Structure 1
């Protein structure tokens, strides 16, 4: 496909590179020996440089220590989507899409990668796993979520979680998973009162969209939030155990 024929997915708030983008997806199914991926029908130019597709027999990949349908992640996936989980587990093959690239000034890399996944679903793929958002999709569910004209809403690309603060009754933490797909830290809104959960959730979605479109935040920056008398101070850090990469913490007043 000629580059000029594919619609651009711009990042109007991008100013300079953040951390590297990490893409990782698993497509379970049965595929022809000579794999021809009709990605062009989805405005994709193929996988971006630095991202590779590898093909495995599912029975062989199950012996890998990091097999995504096993362990803690596997338990989560089986509980949330038992039928899709079982279909993925029984699929003869797994196509693994994985790689890193320098944080770019457009989301064309994401458009191209999603187009490849869509093409794989047309030629034998039955389920897609996005481990960064702890989600396993049947083919039709994935299509409905991501094959949206102009690109799926930012909220569809991330997981937003809530849990109670251990040391403060009536307070919660709201955080994201999946922002590394955009070369941006995950968000961690801390000490949110139960009365402000809707407002904090909306703020989280707004920040996800800004960061997906290129915005970033520096340590110590203060964010003014409508309705709050006190600005939220940005605290940046890296937590491999919690997020697997960088995070931005904001403590609710």
Structure 2
């Protein structure tokens, strides 16, 4: 067990009210002691009322259509995190945590849920799956990433991906996980390979602005230093979108013929 470090509840200084919901979902694998979850040392008052926790025997959950450790997703987690995958598969119990919240000017909801997740690792949890960022952590990896003095960087809560555009040498930089903040994911298309580092920094900055409460509107122009004409926001997507499982705000790098 690591020494508890309280999670902060960040204010969102750029917060603008938004009709979209904040969505959280986690799977915690382990063999849990029948005791109260020690979340208070992590600054958590326990799970918010909007959050549901369900406990499952792992053997029964394996039959569920949405079981995340089988099929293509299971192969992804096994390849990316073989040690965590082995621990998760061997665990006799699985706790599923799900919650939906109205948009909020602070992240107290995230502090409370993460405090419970940390507490569960202290009483028998061996792995945590965050399906929104397609990542399976063993207990030590999760603590190293999130149980950090003054809170983990916002970047740690969101996945930034780079893919090749179809029929082009240009790149697509995009995020997953901004549903945790009730915001659309970022999608930046047509990035020239020579500009990939600059584009990655830009996407991270846009992600952080949204996590801190900013929002974009359809057709909004975004001025970028050194970029003629800037970027124009295009809103789309939805929770059933295959790449994002979320709404998205798309931008296109200028100058693509």
> Structure 1: any 5+ residue segments left out of the alignment?
none
Distance in 1, matches of 2:36 and 2:151, equals: 24
Distance in 1, matches of 2:29 and 2:97, equals: 11
Residue 74 of structure 2: aligned partner: 74
Residue 190 of structure 1: aligned partner: 189
2:80 is the counterpart of 1:92: no
Q: CA deviation digits over 1:136-194, x for unaligned, max 9?
A: 0010110010011222101100111111111322x100000101111000111000000
Conserved? CA contact 2:7–2:151, under 8 Å = no
Residue 248 of structure 1: aligned partner: 249
Distance in 1, matches of 2:18 and 2:53, equals: 25
Distance in 2, matches of 1:157 and 1:129, equals: 13
Conserved? CA contact 1:18–1:184, under 8 Å = no
Normalised by the length of structure 2, the TM-score is 0.93
Conserved? CA contact 2:235–2:249, under 8 Å = yes
- Cα deviation for residue 243 of structure 1 reads 1.2
Residue 128 of structure 2: aligned partner: 128
Question: What secondary structure does 1:208 align onto?
Answer: helix
- Cα deviation for residue 238 of structure 1 reads 1.2
Residue 223 of structure 1: aligned partner: 222
Residue 51 of structure 1: aligned partner: 51
Distance in 2, matches of 1:12 and 1:103, equals: 14
Conserved? CA contact 1:192–1:200, under 8 Å = yes
Conserved? CA contact 2:8–2:111, under 8 Å = no
Distance in 2, matches of 1:112 and 1:190, equals: 35
Residue 26 of structure 1: aligned partner: 27
Distance in 2, matches of 1:7 and 1:136, equals: 23
Residue 167 of structure 2: aligned partner: 167
Considering only aligned residues, what root-mean-square deviation do their CA atoms show, in Å?
Answer: 1.3
Distance in 1, matches of 2:120 and 2:251, equals: 39
Question: What secondary structure does 1:46 align onto?
Answer: coil
> Structure 2: any 5+ residue segments left out of the alignment?
1-5
Moved over 6 A (4+): none
Distance in 1, matches of 2:231 and 2:175, equals: 17
- Cα deviation for residue 87 of structure 1 reads 1.0
Question: What secondary structure does 2:171 align onto?
Answer: strand
Residue 63 of structure 1: aligned partner: 63
- Cα deviation for residue 120 of structure 1 reads 0.3
Conserved? CA contact 2:188–2:250, under 8 Å = yes
Distance in 1, matches of 2:247 and 2:8, equals: 31
Paired residues, what number?
247
Q: CA deviation digits over 1:217-241, x for unaligned, max 9?
A: 0000001111211210000001512
Question: What secondary structure does 1:27 align onto?
Answer: strand
